[in-house]
Structure 1
């Protein structure tokens, strides 16, 4: 049983990378609550945190986190070649690779995550507003989309688990 509860090195590094960039599980759980509270009368922050925690255990998610954050940091250090350096620095609107990486997270829990991601990416509530603020000098071209995707995936997971519970009641 212990092997199932121990975090892999990859997961530990991905979680630490989020923390180092100013994002914690609570921030993402608040986004899940924002997305799902109108659909679940009894939704708690504990439910939201639990679903975020489960999403963070997925290898695809961990790889996306580390890849995106690394690219953001390289751009901050001006270590990318042009024109990619400028494109990531300014988070150019037609550059969609940041969203493509985020979609690899969203797709872990089915297509409902796509609509959740699109909505939260446009709204930019909570931590997403902070990450999207260009005045800090930090570059979060990838991170804002990754965080939104984790919240969207956790919301999808929550929706699927509720649907599964309803199926059990109907049986």
Structure 2
């Protein structure tokens, strides 16, 4: 009997992602949410940390993000245990500056929220805030590898930050007294009436 599990539901993916992040540098949802919060509060001073936490949790339930986190945590772990052969072992182990696949993976996650997500990721990647900075610094110590994980964590923070901005923008639009929420059925009825 084949007992391989390849598909996971959102709740399972969230749980497994939380475990993977915790196992690689002790990363928590709160750590990631804090970066999103810091990034968005300059634009939305009333933003809540809770909205940032909810945004991180939402992103951790996406299948693509699940694959990225699981892959990144395992690659870093294997490099840490010196399980790779050839030049890639040293490139990963020492986080070679010209190795760019870590940023490519990060951009892929941030891209879930379009160009702004990618811009937010670039800011986080360059400025290394919070847990991203901690992972980056720890990854420079002998015996610890966070080559992929610091970028994945930064990209989740960037995606969460962008989601927060979208939620805040939608809330602002709903507060406008001239705003009339229209659904597709109303548009179709208007077309028929003309």
TM norm structure 2: 0.81
| CA RMSD across the alignment | 1.6
Match of 1:156 among 149, 157, 162: 162
Deviation at 1:6, TM superposition (A): 6.3
Q: Deviations over 1:56-114 (max 9, x none)?
A: 11111111000011100010010111100011111111111111111121011111011
Task: Measure how far apart 1:136 and its partner are.
Answer: 6.1
Structure 1 unaligned runs (5+)? none
The alignment status of 1:146 with 2:152, answered yes or no, reads: yes
Largest Rg, 1 or 2:
2
Is 1:31 the counterpart of 2:35? The answer is: yes
Compare relative contact order (CA 8 Å, sep 6+) and give the higher one, 1 or 2: 1
List aligned pairs for 1:1-171, cutoff 5 A: 7-8=11-12, 10-21=13-24, 22-133=26-137, 134-135=140-141, 137-168=143-174, 169=176, 170-171=178-179
Query: How many residues matched?
Result: 166
Q: TM-score, normalised by structure 1?
A: 0.91
Long gaps (5+) in structure 2: 1-8, 180-194
Which whole-Å CA distance do the structure 1 matches of 2:110 and 2:29 have between them?
A: 17
Aligned partners of 1:11 and 1:59 also within 8 Å: no
